[in-house]
């Protein structure tokens, strides 16, 4: 839409025309100044937990299990060097204790392509995506991990607003 508008402006005689391709979702996600009725409303970006553990495809499950056990988390997000989400480790994938299991590579047992939401989502809308989930990953539209939203945090935000 912004592309068509930019092209139209050129036909109307404007010569310095630019397009902010990522739009206000990107601006809001970066917590830059916004105005309007919902500008100060909580968003996934303001409610998410940023300290969620991460690992890489080639890590071994045993190492990841040990590091996750030292946190309050029971999952680990699989990312690449650019923090793009590639998968998720949780549940049974982090339970195994046998030698074969601890030597297993992350990429062999991760859940590929876990669902994600965008950071500008209102908590009530985020809950729609979380009907059967207690957590959901929050990423940019490019897939970069920003954090994880817990259902309880979204529900509390909705409750406070109501």
Partner 1 sequence: MPTDLHRNDVRRMAEGRAQLVEVLSQAEYEQEHIKGAINIPLRVLGRETVSQLQKDRPVITYCHDYQ
Contacts to partner 1 by CB under 8 A = 1-10, 12-28, 30, 32-39, 118, 141
Neighbours of 44 (CB within 10 A): 26
Nearer to partner 1, 33 or 72 (CB): 33
Nearer to partner 1, 31 or 105 (CB): 31
SS3 94: helix
Question: Nearest-CA neighbor of 144 among 75, 80, 94?
Answer: 80
Nearer to partner 1, 24 or 103 (CB): 24
Q: Are 50 and 147 in contact (CB under 8 A)?
A: yes
| Least distance between partner 1 and beta carbon 128 (Å) | 18
| Least distance between partner 1 and beta carbon 108 (Å) | 33
Q: Are 88 and 111 in contact (CB under 8 A)?
A: yes
Q: Are 140 and 119 in contact (CB under 8 A)?
A: yes
Q: Are 101 and 76 in contact (CB under 8 A)?
A: no
| Least distance between partner 1 and beta carbon 118 (Å) | 8
Nearer to partner 1, 12 or 99 (CB): 12
Nearer to partner 1, 7 or 112 (CB): 7
| Least distance between partner 1 and beta carbon 119 (Å) | 11
| Least distance between partner 1 and beta carbon 6 (Å) | 4
CA gap 47, 102 in Å, rounded: 33
CA angle, residues 142, 147, 149, in degrees to nearest 5:
115
């Amino acid at each position: 839409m912004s592309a068509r508008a930019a092209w139209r402006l050129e036909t109307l005689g404007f010569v310095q025309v630019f397009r902010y391709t990522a739009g206000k979702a990107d601006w809001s996600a970066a917590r830059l100044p916004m105005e309007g009725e919902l500008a100060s409303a909580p968003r996934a970006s303001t409610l998410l937990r940023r300290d969620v553990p991460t690992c890489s495809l080639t890590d071994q499950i045993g190492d990841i299990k040990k590091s996750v056990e030292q946190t309050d988390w029971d999952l680990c997000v699989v990312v690449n060097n650019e923090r793009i989400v590639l998968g998720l480790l949780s549940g049974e994938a982090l339970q195994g204790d046998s030698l074969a299991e601890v030597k297993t590579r992350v990429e062999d047992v991760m859940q590929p392509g876990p669902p994600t939401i965008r950071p500008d989502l209102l908590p009530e809308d985020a809950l729609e995506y979380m009907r059967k989930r207690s957590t959901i990953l929050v990423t940019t539209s490019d897939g970069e991990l920003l954090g994880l939203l817990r259902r309880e945090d979204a529900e509390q935000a909705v409750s406070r607003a109501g």
